[in-house]
Amino acid sequence: MGYFSGTFTNKTDKKGRVSVPAKFRQLMSVNHVHSFFLRPSFTHSCLEAIQPAVMDEVQAALLRLPPLGAERAALSTMLFAEANETMMDPEGRIQIPDSLRSYAKIGEDVVFAGLGDKFQLWEPGAYEAYRAEARALARENLSLLTGAPVLATAGGQS
């Protein structure tokens, strides 16, 4: 299966297109994923790229909520109405809609950050600020992953 991992910075062109990192494209190709959903993050000023299989899981969870409930309507709006299904062109580029670029304050450069089952798109300065916060928060919460094999060697600085 594989995971989205690594951090890459790419430039947008005059039309707002940006190349998806080759490593991410390769993973999607191997997994027969031809599109993904771009949506604003709930927690940060960035965009999240979600695979269709994950969106299927989200839809299944939404369907367990009362069909006329305000919670389901609000979550559906944020998860689906705000999402944009995106396909790469033959050169591996995507077009980031203006509304999403504006939300994430993405200009000439875009940081792609792999998060395992998804990846995020950030304005570089915002990503650097978040990364420092994330490192501190991860260190505080390392015990939540007790028993994970990689943690046996995680005692050093990173």
Percent of the chain with pLDDT over 70: 92
Q: How confident is the model at residue 144 (pLDDT cuts 50, 70, 90)?
A: confident
pTM for this one?
Answer: 0.86
pLDDT digits (tens, 9 = 90+) for 105-131: 999 999 999 999 999 999 999 999 999
Cβ-based burial of 97 (10 A; exposed 0-12, middle 13-18, buried ≥19): middle
In whole angstroms, give the CA distance from residue 133 to residue 136: 5
**For residues 41-55, average pLDDT:** 94
Which single residue is written with the structure tokens 């875009």? 110
In whole angstroms, give the CA distance from residue 142 to residue 25: 30
Q: How many CA atoms lie within 13 A of 19 on its CB side?
A: 11
pLDDT digits (tens, 9 = 90+) for 74-98: 999 989 999 999 999 999 999 999 9
Sign of dihedral through CA atoms 125, 116, 21, 86?
A: negative
Domains of the chain plus CATH, in order, are 7-147 (3.40.1550.20)
Residue 15 three-state SS: coil
pLDDT of residue 158: 46
pLDDT of residue 146: 74
**For residues 54-62, average pLDDT:** 94
Please, are residues 126 and 47 in contact by the beta-carbon 8 Å criterion? no
φ, ψ dihedrals at 3, nearest 5°: -135, 150
pLDDT digits (tens, 9 = 90+) for 15-28: 889 999 999 999 99
- Spell out the residues 6+ positions from residue 50 whose beta carbon is closer than 8 angstroms to its own: 36, 37, 38, 39, 58, 83, 118
In whole angstroms, give the CA distance from residue 51 to residue 118: 7
Tokens at residue 83, please? 């999402």
